[in-house]
Amino acid sequence: MKYKAIVFDLDGVICHTDKYHYLAWKALADKLGIYFDEVINNRLRGVSRMESLEIILERNTGAPLSDEEKVKYATEKNDLYRESLMQMSTADLSDEVKDTLDKLRAMGLKLAIGSSSKNAPLILNRIGLPDYFDAISDGNNIENSKPHPEVFLKAAEYLGLEPEECLVVEDAKAGLEAAIAGGMDCAAIGDAVSSGLGTYNLATFADLLTAVE
Ligand code: BG6
Ligand code: MG
């Protein structure tokens, strides 16, 4: 086996909370009269909440926002986003993802989460995986979000493994950059494939089963 563990990004990899992030940011951008679309949204993948707001504000043609206003609007976005999360259930975890996770575990691999999100524990609860992973490294235990490698290095540390023993799975270019900066191989899925940075490119989540062999 090439690896001892797999560290999964959460939003856009394990489940499709990325669409709820987009809708909540879009509602805020519309309210502020700022242009925002799915192409700009792809730059927010893997990036922290406040850094995401800064990317959206690059298109702000109105008065610059104060730090207080930025915190207020980021909180507003998060409140709307969490309303979507509360609608999620175990039906938002696909059979393909769950079966693949179970098979990877049966192959002897440790499984961890490496997410920039402070909402990761809530999401894992909603999709029925609160205690499934061997380690969770998320937005609550890091100072620097992706492309900084901290979240993945912490995941490896929590697993008691060296970075090079772990494979990262990511839908974000910033996430692939973080894995590479941390000395880890990475598998790109979804939007991240086009960056060309992945050690592997996955057409489907189940393709991981052959990538790790
Ligand atoms: C990442 C998402 O997983 O978490 C980003 O890809 C998001 O889009 C980041 O900004 C932070 O999430 P949260 O839930 O803490 O606002
Ligand atoms: Mg993601």
CATH number at residue 58: 1.10.150.240
The last residue of one of the domains, among 85, 116, 144, is: 85
* Atom 4 of ligand 1, residue of closest alpha carbon: 117
Domain membership of residue 139 as a residue range? 5-15+92-211
Same domain as 123, residue 77: no
Listed residues 39, 58, 85: the one ending a domain: 85
Q: Could you say which of 9, 138, 171, 185 is catalytic?
A: 9
Query: DSSP H helical segments within 86-149, as ranges?
Result: 95-106, 120-126
Active site residue 11: yes
Helix (H) or strand (E) holding 180: helix 173-181
Residues 113 and 157 in one domain: yes
* Secondary structure percentages of the chain, helix, strand, coil, to 5: 50, 15, 40
Mutation to probe ligand 1, out of 7, 8, 21 (largest number of atoms < 8 A from CB): 21
Is 95 annotated as catalytic?
no
CA distance 45 to 30: 19
What's 164's DSSP letter? G
Measured in Å, residue 47 CA sits from the centre of ligand 2 at 9
Instruction: Indicate if 11 and 103 belong to the same structural domain.
Output: yes
- Global pTM? 0.97
Regarding whether 194 and 171 lie in a shared domain, the answer is yes
Residues with CB under 5 A from ligand 2 (ion): 9, 11-12, 45, 171-172
Tell me the β-bridge partners of 7: 112, 168
Distance, in Å, from the CA atom of 188 to the CA atom of 100, rounded to the nearest integer, reads 16
pLDDT on residue 79: 98
Residues 79 and 149 in one domain: no
Residue 131 shares a structural domain with residue 79: no
Only one residue has tokens 């060309």, namely 196
Q: Which residues line ligand 1 (CB under 6 A)?
A: 10-11, 21, 44-49, 52, 78, 115-119, 139, 172
Tell me the per-residue pLDDT of 174-196, one tens digit each, with 9 for 90 and over.
999 999 999 999 999 999 999 99
Query: Digits of tens for pLDDT over the chain (213 positions)?
Result: 899 999 999 999 999 999 999 999 999 999 999 999 999 999 999 999 999 999 999 999 999 999 999 999 999 999 999 999 999 999 999 999 999 999 999 999 999 999 999 999 999 999 999 999 999 999 999 999 999 999 999 999 999 999 999 999 999 999 999 999 999 999 999 999 999 999 999 999 999 999 999
Q: Specify the number of domains making up the chain.
A: 2
